[in-house]
């Protein structure tokens, strides 16, 4: 079994991407001195260093990295050493111009940035394997080495390449998926799966198939969906190839690659599959300042990361101390925000908090991106807060290895999301991610900690499971949900769920094919609303219920389900809007319109009642309370995102670890502060 925690790290991970190659070596001494001052325990090195490590094909210069690794070791700082394969050198492209990826429009990207990689390219694969092998041999037993960091954020920013090499690779992949390697046998199955009888797209041979490049009008959706799977699998092939080299040559050192689970930041990687391939799940998270509550988006990404890790501890490998530089407007974090962000990740399962990056760059594209050590130096708020955070994390070292306690589950599937985002759906105003965000936010506001689950997962551990817009649901997923409800679970399913199978083909019969049984209803027809239209719902007694929906309505026909709210107006006036089906020992709710936040909360309150989930004690909406538990005890995190002091009821008396105070009863959490209480045994 591979190791799953950074080797030799005995505290929580705290540090950042460290790019000393951007500085004269005289600066390195100051770096390690200041790292010690801040309590840094681990840094990520070498992420983009290929051109320095291999200045010419086959000629290596490891001198500087030797000195750096030794320096880190001397100062007791652990190294998360990267394979630099996200940034091939200029000489590589001179020899392999076809390794530059091609966009869907047929434009070849150029060198001069990073991550310009066609993952099917044999030259790239060979060169990546060589540099990985050299690094593994040289540093596999180095005493500073704690973790291998393969590549950087697969799938960001180029999600797929559409070149001729990828076309050939796609055909091989199709032969494997549909014909067990036999291209002739595969073609009939591809025609069937892609529904090529439609618009005369039938293929006589796999050789006729190309990537779903730019087409005059909507391109075959099943082909597009399979291409996304192929692109994801191709990146994963490259990741596992590097990982296997590292495992073989450097046994005992865990291997990771940094994910980007925030749904707004990477939409091209099926992290359910990737989570199974990493020894330690790591994630990068950046606040998107689009006017929404950034701490809710953060919590969602952290919960999703933990779920991808199967509930085990994971590690936040990158976030920012303050502003980023790649959004239209990049506000500085407010005082205390960095600590709240960091400790919210820890609350939700991260065994540490790391940053991009240690020292702010003077040159290059990211010189205005914040860092632990900013241009302003140590006489700065960011530095002082970083030092304080280092001390806080030090006092939390005991919780390493404990697990976050979930309350409820939400189904999420990247493949369903991909399918839903293709062209020509019933309404372009319907957005699967928006529904996921909204359902998550509603649960967050009820102070429920959410595990994400794959639609075919065993859900029996959860009293409540919510299913926002699971458009693609296999029959197996339908069966899993039915079993869950029959065995006493409570389910809340939103519209546009259970509609198609894995090939984007509508399940036979009335919608929602995969979920008709469990929901006890059929949908006769979708009737999405026009922009700006909304509908009112009436309650069980016929009175106006104060609930409104927009974007979507449909004609629901109950077949066992009871109608709880009815459409009061709009195209479906008088028909069921929200239903509830008693099935076996459980209950399945169905919501057929896009509810606003207040309406969604009303429905979730009723579902929580069914599930036996008592409302959480009176807590302000933006006071986040999460627990971790394990061998060393139970830890309650209280994160006050508001400008007012708050009181949080404690389950048990204990010790507040950041202040060292004894606490009992109601815990005082000052405005903007974080408190972590270890309950007395």
Binding site for ligand GAL (CB under 6 A): 152-153, 284, 286, 318, 324, 356, 366, 369
Query: Least separation, in Å, of the C-beta of 284 and ligand GAL?
Result: 5
Nearer of residues 270 and 284 to ligand GAL, judged by Cβ = 284
Cis ω for the linkage preceding 357 (within 30 of 0): yes
Which entry of 21, 242, 248, 318 is annotated as an active-site residue?
318
Q: What angle do CA 232, 114, 260 make, to 5 degrees?
A: 45
Query: Least separation, in Å, of the C-beta of 354 and ligand GAL?
Result: 11
Helix (H, G, I), strand (E, B) or coil at 25: helix
Query: Least separation, in Å, of the C-beta of 356 and ligand GAL?
Result: 4
Helical segments of 271-320, H only = 271-275, 294-308
Nearer of residues 356 and 440 to ligand GAL, judged by Cβ = 356
Query: Least separation, in Å, of the C-beta of 321 and ligand GAL?
Result: 11
Q: Report d(CA 480, CA 482) in Å as an integer.
A: 5
Cβ–Cβ < 8 Å for 348, 285 = no
Nearer of residues 277 and 366 to ligand GAL, judged by Cβ = 366
Q: Report d(CA 262, CA 155) in Å as an integer.
A: 13
Q: Report d(CA 207, CA 205) in Å as an integer.
A: 5
Nearer of residues 40 and 537 to ligand GAL, judged by Cβ = 40
Helix (H, G, I), strand (E, B) or coil at 313: coil
Query: Least separation, in Å, of the C-beta of 366 and ligand GAL?
Result: 6
Nearer of residues 154 and 227 to ligand GAL, judged by Cβ = 154
Residue 441: its H or E element: helix 432-445
Q: Report d(CA 438, CA 441) in Å as an integer.
A: 5
Q: Report d(CA 103, CA 161) in Å as an integer.
A: 6
Helix (H, G, I), strand (E, B) or coil at 271: helix
Q: Report d(CA 30, CA 18) in Å as an integer.
A: 13
Cis ω for the linkage preceding 512 (within 30 of 0): yes
Query: Least separation, in Å, of the C-beta of 154 and ligand GAL?
Result: 11
Q: Report d(CA 663, CA 355) in Å as an integer.
A: 32
State how beta strands 586-591 and 490-494 pair: parallel
Query: Least separation, in Å, of the C-beta of 357 and ligand GAL?
Result: 7
**CA dist 12 → 6, 78, 98, 314, 402 (Å):** 10, 11, 43, 11, 12
Q: What angle do CA 251, 254, 260 make, to 5 degrees?
A: 150
Which entry of 3, 21, 30, 153 is annotated as an active-site residue?
153
Query: Least separation, in Å, of the C-beta of 287 and ligand GAL?
Result: 10
Nearer of residues 369 and 435 to ligand GAL, judged by Cβ = 369
- What are the structure tokens assigned to 472, written together? 């693609």
Nearer of residues 333 and 536 to ligand GAL, judged by Cβ = 333
State how beta strands 464-467 and 408-411 pair: parallel
Closest CA to 602 of 560, 564, 557: 564
Residue appearing with tokens 């939700």 = 348
Closest residue to ligand GAL in the complex (CB): 356
Q: Report d(CA 466, CA 287) in Å as an integer.
A: 25
- What are the structure tokens assigned to 352, written together? 């540490």
Nearer of residues 199 and 326 to ligand GAL, judged by Cβ = 326
Q: How many CB atoms lie within 10 A of CB 597?
A: 11
Query: Least separation, in Å, of the C-beta of 318 and ligand GAL?
Result: 6
Q: Report d(CA 187, CA 209) in Å as an integer.
A: 10
Reply yes or no on whether 153 is catalytic.
yes
Q: Report d(CA 433, CA 234) in Å as an integer.
A: 25
Nearer of residues 286 and 452 to ligand GAL, judged by Cβ = 286
Active site residues: 153, 318
């Amino acid at each position: 079994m591979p190791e799953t925690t950074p080797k030799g790290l005995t505290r929580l991970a705290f540090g950042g991407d460290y790019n000393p190659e951007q500085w004269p070596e005289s600066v390195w001494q100051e770096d390690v001195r200041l790292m010690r001052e801040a309590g840094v325990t681990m840094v990520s090195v070498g992420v983009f260093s290929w051109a320095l490590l291999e200045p010419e094909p086959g000629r290596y210069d490891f001198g500087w990295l030797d000195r750096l690794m030794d320096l880190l070791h001397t100062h007791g700082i652990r190294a998360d050493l990267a394979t630099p394969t996200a940034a091939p050198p200029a000489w590589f492209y001179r020899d392999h111009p076809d390794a530059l990826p091609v966009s869907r429009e047929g434009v070849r990207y150029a060198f001069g940035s990073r991550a310009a990689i066609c993952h099917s390219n044999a030259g790239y694969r060979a060169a990546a394997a060589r540099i990985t092998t050299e690094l593994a041999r040289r540093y596999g037993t180095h005493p500073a080495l704690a973790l291998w960091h393969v590549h950087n954020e697969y799938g960001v920013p180029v999600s797929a390449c559409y070149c001729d090499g990828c076309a050939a690779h796609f055909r091989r992949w199709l032969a494997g998926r549909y014909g067990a390697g036999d291209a002739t046998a595969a073609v009939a199955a591809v025609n069937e799966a892609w529904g090529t009888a439609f618009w005369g797209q039938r293929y006589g041979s796999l050789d006729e198939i190309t990537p779903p490049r730019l087409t005059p009008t909507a391109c075959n959706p099943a082909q597009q969906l399979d291409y996304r799977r192929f692109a994801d699998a191709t990146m994963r092939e490259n990741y596992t190839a590097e990982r296997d080299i590292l495992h073989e040559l450097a046994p005992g050192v865990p291997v990771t690659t940094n994910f980007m689970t925030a749904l707004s930041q990477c939409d091209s990687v099926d992290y359910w599959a990737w989570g199974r391939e990493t020894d330690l799940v790591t994630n990068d998270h950046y606040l998107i300042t689009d006017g929404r509550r950034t701490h809710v988006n953060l919590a969602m990404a952290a919960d999703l990361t933990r779920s991808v890790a199967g509930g085990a501890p994971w590690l936040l490998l990158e976030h920012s101390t303050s502003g980023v530089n790649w959004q239209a407007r990049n506000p500085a974090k407010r005082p205390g925000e960095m600590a709240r962000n960091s400790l919210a990740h820890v609350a939700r399962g991260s065994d540490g908090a790391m940053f991009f990056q240690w020292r702010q760059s003077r040159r290059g594209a990211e010189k205005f991106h914040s860092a632990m050590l900013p241009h302003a130096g140590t006489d700065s708020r960011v530095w002082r807060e970083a030092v304080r955070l280092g001390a806080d994390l030090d006092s939390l070292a005991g919780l390493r290895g404990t697990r976050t306690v979930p309350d409820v589950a939400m189904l999420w599937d990247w493949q369903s999301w991909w399918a839903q985002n293709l062209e020509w759906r019933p309404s372009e105003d319907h957005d699967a991610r928006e529904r996921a965000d909204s359902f998550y936010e509603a649960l967050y506001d009820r102070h429920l900690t959410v595990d994400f689950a794959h639609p075919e997962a065993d859900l029996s551990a959860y009293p409540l499971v919510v299913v926002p817009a699971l458009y693609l649901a296999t029959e197996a997923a339908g069966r899993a949900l039915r079993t869950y409800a029959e065995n006493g679970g409570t389910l809340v399913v939103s519209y546009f769920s259970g509609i198609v199978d894995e090939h984007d083909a509508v399940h036979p019969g009335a919608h929602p094919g995969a979920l008709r049984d469990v929901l006890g209803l059929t949908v006769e027809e979708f009737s999405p609303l026009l922009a700006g239209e909304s509908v009112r719902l009436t309650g069980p007694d016929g009175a106006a219920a104060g609930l409104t929906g927009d974007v979507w309505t449909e004609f629901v026909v109950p077949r066992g389900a009871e109608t709880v709210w009815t459409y009061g107006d709009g195209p479906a006036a008088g028909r069921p809007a929200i239903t509830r089906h008693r099935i076996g020992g459980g209950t399945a709710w169905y919501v057929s319109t896009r509810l606003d936040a207040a309406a969604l909360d009303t429905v979730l309150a009723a579902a929580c009642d069914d599930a036996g989930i008592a409302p959480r004690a009176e807590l302000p909406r933006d006071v986040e309370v999460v627990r971790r538990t394990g061998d060393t005890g139970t830890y309650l995190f209280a994160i006050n995102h508001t400008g007012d002091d708050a009181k949080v009821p404690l389950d048990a008396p204990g010790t507040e670890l950041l202040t060292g105070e004894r606490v009992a009863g109601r815990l005082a959490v000052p405005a903007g502060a974080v408190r972590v209480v270890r309950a007395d045994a």
